């Protein structure tokens, strides 16, 4: 009589498969924005890699600001997600709007000046879109809205801000975390959304869909 064969040795951990929820917990940021990277780093969620989407951000005909922000965030996450199977891929977009008007990211001082004149003495809204491609290929997204009230700007303040160059490439022609902070009377809603990424919504999106690091608070660096 032959002795029975010993049972096979089973691994306690299933192998990771692309598109499976048993992922390696990589976080890829689909944005070249240093502000978004810094915000994630601030809450101990620094991405493992950065892979900008580089897509056309021109608004569609009659596209409202909130929809524009969400559409671009989803498009970025989808495009970059295809290049990183098995990872969590985070896309985001920020839109500054006066009413239904989407303000540009100025490339010249004249455009930036027009943005500041529109914002001067007024309440405007900052729409943030956040999209996450999951390791199994599904996508989830959220939208955030923040109201920002500017003081009335005089010509000297506008000229000085334009001379600083800080407006370059910034949605609406200003950076709330920089010199433009002196112009802000009130922020109603998420401050980090105005900087470039709504952190509360981002953390909850990640934690709610299995990203382990979003559930923990890392000790501060020494």
Quick one: pLDDT at residue 216? 87
Average pLDDT (47-69) is: 96
CB-based contact 130:192 (threshold 8 Å): no
Determine the topology of domain 27-214 in CATH: Maf protein (3.90.950)
Quick one: pLDDT at residue 218? 73
Active site residues: 93
Average pLDDT (123-138) is: 98
Give the up-direction half-sphere exposure of residue 33: CA atoms within 13 A in the CB hemisphere. 24
40: confidence class by pLDDT, cuts 50, 70, 90 = very high
15: confidence class by pLDDT, cuts 50, 70, 90 = very low
Break the chain into its structural domains and give their ranges: 27-214
107: Cβ–Cβ under 8 A, 6 or more apart, which residues?
168, 169
Distance of alpha carbon 198 from alpha carbon 120, whole angstroms:
24
Q: What is the pLDDT of residues 60-84, one digit of tens each?
A: 999 999 999 999 999 999 999 999 9
Average pLDDT (112-125) is: 98
Q: If we measure between CA atoms, which residue out of 160, 163, 146 comes closest to residue 199? A: 146
């Amino acid at each position: 009589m032959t002795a029975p064969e010993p049972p096979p040795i089973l691994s306690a951990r299933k192998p990771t498969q692309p598109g499976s929820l048993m992922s390696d917990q990589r976080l890829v940021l689909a944005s070249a924005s240093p502000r978004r990277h810094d915000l994630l780093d601030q809450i101990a969620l620094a991405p493992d890699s950065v892979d900008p989407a580089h897509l056309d951000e021109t608004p569609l005909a009659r596209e409202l600001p909130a929809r524009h922000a969400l559409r671009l965030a989803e498009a970025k996450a989808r495009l970059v997600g295809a290049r990183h199977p098995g990872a969590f891929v985070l896309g985001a977009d920020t839109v500054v709007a006066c009413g239904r008007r989407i303000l540009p990211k100025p490339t010249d001082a004249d455009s930036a000046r027009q943005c500041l004149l529109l914002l001067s003495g007024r309440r405007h809204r900052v729409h943030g879109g956040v999209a996450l491609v999951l390791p199994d290929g599904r996508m989830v997204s959220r939208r955030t809205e923040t109201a920002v009230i500017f003081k009335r700007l005089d010509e000297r303040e506008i000229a000085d801000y334009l001379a600083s160059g800080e407006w370059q490439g910034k949605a609406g022609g200003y950076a709330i975390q920089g010199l433009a902070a002196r112009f802000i009377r009130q922020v109603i809603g998420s401050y980090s959304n105005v900087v470039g990424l709504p952190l509360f919504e981002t953390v909850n999106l990640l934690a709610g869909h299995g990203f382990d690091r979003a559930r923990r608070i890392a000790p501060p660096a020494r």
